[in-house]
């Protein structure tokens, strides 16, 4: 057992939110101990080098990195952009010159536009009635989105009614064609912070609020980062040294009973398999689903427990497929594929121009992911490459490297991209997202009021929790 050292604040979880919280606390002059379960910092931000064997003469190319977790930066993600700039990380525009491919049933077309809920540019050449059906429903959806607040939505006058329904209920009531129904289901499975979730599993209130507070219209996928977003956590952790413990899952958090107001006595004990850490306050910076594995005493209130049990993590595997070059551009394609393919409903060109390589990021999500992850490695690879070939052509079948990151199997993250609310959870437990439990405060992208599920939300949540602790400890 370790000696008893009392820090001002214990931060549990060294993902983006926890690392930002630690930085803010240290800036405020408080001592910090960060405890991370995994062997490395970063959580959902992690990069890996591509295998470039066969890409040309060894040493002729710079190392090329791919992000196994989050990668895109949004036009309005100002906190996250400042963080990148402060650490000297350079951005570049997400490549999208050329036509998007849409596959729907046996129909394949290319078009100079894009849609992820909200269409931009030219529409695809699907039957006019199908597109009109989707666009009419989209108008109703946009009205619903506009009626919601940007902050947490559960006190809105319509919250109860909207939270009782699933997104599938809404889709069935507002669309008439299979294309329009898929248009919204794809949106639910593919878009940012929504989980991804299957439409019959997620609350209508959650989906609509998601678009209110993390709007696709703000272009959250506008830019990428040279060398990968996954570089940032190690840079943020620089200087923590002894104040960072890796590979130690926190099992329990115990605090004295009674009020936690300024001047109140007592330390909080945070227990791992290797011993105890003591602090005057604690920030738990992880998805609610992961906080559910920690034992709290005194016990958490029922609404917070329900959040830990009920806020599911998205079922999504990210697959990175690398090629010697972005060959699809020669065919006038943007490297963006959307469609009701068996496995990959969305994939996008993620090539860093400084490497010369072509990289497609593909996502297998929802029930597709459950079926696909049960296959062996070879059938999984073949299935994804076949879908990429359907979008872009047979050259997709011969990659230089193929990498999967099965986030639902990660024991301390539990899924990708983020947590989502089934019907009833917002209105039953929404207040518990941000309400401190005595001296325990909550961070992590899931609790953010703006850009939840994104890097930006994680940064904001870390800053917020740190400010709450500074106010408590003065």
Ligand X SMILES: Cc1cc2nc3c(=O)[nH]c(=O)nc-3n(C[C@H](O)[C@H](O)[C@H](O)COP(=O)(O)OP(=O)(O)OC[C@H]3O[C@@H](n4cnc5c(N)ncnc54)[C@H](O)[C@@H]3O)c2cc1C
Task: Using the rule CB under 5 A, give the single segment among 12-20, 172-180, 258-266, 356-364 that binds Mg ion.
Answer: 12-20
> Which H helix or E strand runs over 420?
strand 419-420
CB nearer Mg ion, residue 103 or residue 443: 443
Least distance between ligand X and beta carbon 41 (Å)? 7
- Which residues form the interface with ligand X (CB under 6 A)? 12-18, 35-38, 43-45, 69-72, 249-250, 285-287, 290, 293-294, 318, 407, 412-413, 416-418, 444-445, 453-455, 458
CB nearer ligand X, residue 148 or residue 458: 458
CB nearer ligand X, residue 82 or residue 122: 82
450's CB contacts (< 8 A; 6+ apart) are 150, 213, 214, 456, 457, 460
Least distance between Mg ion and beta carbon 418 (Å)? 12
CB nearer ligand X, residue 25 or residue 285: 285
432 binds, among Mg ion, ligand X, none (CB under 5 to 8 A by kind): none
CA distances from 215 to 117, 142, 151, 195 (A): 10, 11, 13, 15
Question: What's the CA gap between 37 and 413, in Å, rounded?
Answer: 10
User: What does DSSP say about strands 99-104 and 333-339: parallel, antiparallel, or unpaired?
Assistant: parallel
Question: What's the CA gap between 281 and 271, in Å, rounded?
Answer: 14
CB nearer Mg ion, residue 23 or residue 81: 23
Least distance between Mg ion and beta carbon 45 (Å)? 9
Least distance between ligand X and beta carbon 196 (Å)? 10
Least distance between ligand X and beta carbon 74 (Å)? 7
Can you point out the beta strands (E) in 197-315? 223-225, 244-245, 250-254, 268-272, 275-285, 295-297, 312-313
CB nearer ligand X, residue 22 or residue 126: 22
* Cβ atoms of residues 277 and 7 within 8 Å: yes
| Helical residues (DSSP H) of 87-225, grouped into ranges | 128-146, 159-164, 167-174, 178-190, 204-213
CB nearer Mg ion, residue 33 or residue 427: 33
170 binds, among Mg ion, ligand X, none (CB under 5 to 8 A by kind): none
Q: Is 85 exposed, middle or buried (0-12, 13-18, 19+ CB in 10 A)?
A: exposed
User: Is residue 13 a contact residue for Mg ion (CB under 5 A)?
Assistant: yes
69 binds, among ligand X, Mg ion, none (CB under 5 to 8 A by kind): ligand X
Q: Which of 438, 432, 444 is nearest to 469 (CA)?
A: 438
CB nearer ligand X, residue 16 or residue 25: 16
206 binds, among ligand X, Mg ion, none (CB under 5 to 8 A by kind): none
CA-derived radius of gyration, the chain: 23
Question: What's the CA gap between 274 and 283, in Å, rounded?
Answer: 20
Give, as ranges, the residues between 108 and 137 that touch Mg ion (CB under 5 A): none
User: Is residue 22 a contact residue for Mg ion (CB under 5 A)?
Assistant: no
* Cβ atoms of residues 430 and 442 within 8 Å: no
Place of tokens 């990021």: 361
* Cβ atoms of residues 68 and 46 within 8 Å: yes
Least distance between ligand X and beta carbon 407 (Å)? 5
Angle (nearest 5°) at CA 21 between 93 and 438: 140
CB nearer Mg ion, residue 17 or residue 390: 17
| Helical residues (DSSP H) of 363-447, grouped into ranges | 367-373, 377-392, 425-429
* Binds Mg ion (CB under 5 A): choice among 8, 10, 12, 18: 18
35 binds, among Mg ion, ligand X, none (CB under 5 to 8 A by kind): ligand X
Least distance between ligand X and beta carbon 141 (Å)? 23
Question: What's the CA gap between 214 and 194, in Å, rounded?
Answer: 10
Least distance between ligand X and beta carbon 290 (Å)? 4
141 binds, among Mg ion, ligand X, none (CB under 5 to 8 A by kind): none
Least distance between ligand X and beta carbon 258 (Å)? 25
Number of residues forming the site for Mg ion (CB under 5 A): 5
Q: Which of 73, 123, 119, 125 is nearest to 104 (CA)?
A: 125
User: Is residue 15 a contact residue for Mg ion (CB under 5 A)?
Assistant: yes
36 binds, among ligand X, Mg ion, none (CB under 5 to 8 A by kind): ligand X
User: Is residue 192 a contact residue for Mg ion (CB under 5 A)?
Assistant: no
* Binds Mg ion (CB under 5 A): choice among 285, 307, 421, 472: 285
User: What does DSSP say about strands 32-35 and 6-12: parallel, antiparallel, or unpaired?
Assistant: parallel
181 binds, among Mg ion, ligand X, none (CB under 5 to 8 A by kind): none
CB nearer Mg ion, residue 15 or residue 227: 15
Task: Using the rule CB under 5 A, give the single segment among 5-13, 225-233, 268-276, 396-404 that binds Mg ion.
Answer: 5-13
Which DSSP category does 106 fall into?
T
Structure tokens at 161: 């009614």
Instruction: Please identify the residue of the shown chain whose CB is closest to the bound Mg ion.
Output: 15
Question: What's the CA gap between 270 and 261, in Å, rounded?
Answer: 20
Place of tokens 């500074």: 470
Interacting residues toward Mg ion by CB under 5 A:
13, 15, 17-18, 285
């Amino acid at each position: 057992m370790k000696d008893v050292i009392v820090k001002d604040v214990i931060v549990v979880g060294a993902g983006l939110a926890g690392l930002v919280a630690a930085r803010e606390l240290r800036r405020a002059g408080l001592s910090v101990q960060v405890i991370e379960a995994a062997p490395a910092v970063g959580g959902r931000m992690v990069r890996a080098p591509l295998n470039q064997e066969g890409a040309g003469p060894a040493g002729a190319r710079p190392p090329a990195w791919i992000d196994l977790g989050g990668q895109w930066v949004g036009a309005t993600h100002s906190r996250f952009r400042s963080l990148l700039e402060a650490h000297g990380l350079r951005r570049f525009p997400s490549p999208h010159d050329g036509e998007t491919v849409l596959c729907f049933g046996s129909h394949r077309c290319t078009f100079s536009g894009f849609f992820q809920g909200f269409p931009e540019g030219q529409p695809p050449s699907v039957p006019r009635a199908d597109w009109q059906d989707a666009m009419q429903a989209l108008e109703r959806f946009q009205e619903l989105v506009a009626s919601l607040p940007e902050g947490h939505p559960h006190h809105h006058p319509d919250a109860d009614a909207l939270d009782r329904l699933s997104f599938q209920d809404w889709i069935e009531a507002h669309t008439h064609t299979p294309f329009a129904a898929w248009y919204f289901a794809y949106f639910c499975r593919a878009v940012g912070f929504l989980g991804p979730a299957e439409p019959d599993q997620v609350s209508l209130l959650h989906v609509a609020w998601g678009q209110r507070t993390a709007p696709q219209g703000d272009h959250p996928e506008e830019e990428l980062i040279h060398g990968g977003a996954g570089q940032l956590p190690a840079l943020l952790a620089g200087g923590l040294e002894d104040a960072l413990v890796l590979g130690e899952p926190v099992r329990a958090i115990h605090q004295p009973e009674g009020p936690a107001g300024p001047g109140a006595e007592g330390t909080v004990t945070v227990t791992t398999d290797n011993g105890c850490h003591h602090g005057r306050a604690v920030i738990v910076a992880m998805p609610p689903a992961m906080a559910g594995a920690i034992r709290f005493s005194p016990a958490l209130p029922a609404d917070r427990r329900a959040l830990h049990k009920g806020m599911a993590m998205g079922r999504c595997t990210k697959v990175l497929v690398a090629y010697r070059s972005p060959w699809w551009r020669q065919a006038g394609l943007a490297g963006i594929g959307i469609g009701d393919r068996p496995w990959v409903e969305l994939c996008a060109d993620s090539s860093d121009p400084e490497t010369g390589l072509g990289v497609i990021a593909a996502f297998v999500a929802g029930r597709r992911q459950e079926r696909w992850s049960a296959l062996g490695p070879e059938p999984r690879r073949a299935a994804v490459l076949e879908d990429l070939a359907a979008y872009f052509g047979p050259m997709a079948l011969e990659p230089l490297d193929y990498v999967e990151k099965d986030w639902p199997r990660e024991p301390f993250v539990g899924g990708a991209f983020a947590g989502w609310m089934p019907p009833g959870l917002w209105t039953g437990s929404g207040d518990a997202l941000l309400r401190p439990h005595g001296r325990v405060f909550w961070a992590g992208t899931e609790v953010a009021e703006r850009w939840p599920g994104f890097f930006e939300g994680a940064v904001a949540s870390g800053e917020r929790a740190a400010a709450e602790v500074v106010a408590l400890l003065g």
